[in-house]
Structures are given as structure tokens and as C-alpha cells.
Amino acid sequence: MSKAGIWSIAAIAVCTFLYLVYLAVAFEPPRGTTTVILPTPRSRDRSDRAAPCAHPHNAVDSCSSRVG
């Protein structure tokens, strides 16, 4: 690679570094905090759960009609 190519890559790297330093200095973190309250998940009854497959060795074929 020629010297001009190396110098141009070095110049781009230095400019990028200086820009990142500028962003770090100019960055202002948000004031205060934000609290997110999520609703408690509802408990499921045992009747909501799917019944286990009768034939575990052939689970895909025997239980395909139960999958909703």
C-alpha cells in the first residue's frame, strides 16, 4: 500500500477518534430515573395446561391434533 493510502486511513482514524471524544464530552445523561411497573402475571389453573402425550416415542404424530 502506498504512503498516501496509509496516511489517509490514519487521518480517518484520528478524525473518528476525535469525534467519539466529542460525543463523550457532550453527552448528557437523562435526569432522574424511570420506573416501569409490570403487572403480575396471572396464575394458570391446572386445567389450562395441555395433557401429556400418550405416545412419547411418536409425539409429533400422536399429538398433532391437540396443538392449538
Q: Write out the chain's pLDDT in tens, 68 residues.
A: 789 999 999 999 999 999 999 999 998 887 888 888 889 888 776 665 566 666 556 555 555 555 55
Cα 62 from chain centroid (whole Å): 36
What is 2-59 written as a DSSP string? -HHHHHHHHHHHHHHHHHHHHHHHH--PPSS-----PPPPPPPPGGGSPPPPS-GGGH
The pLDDT assigned to 52 comes to: 61
Quick one: cell of 62? 400422536
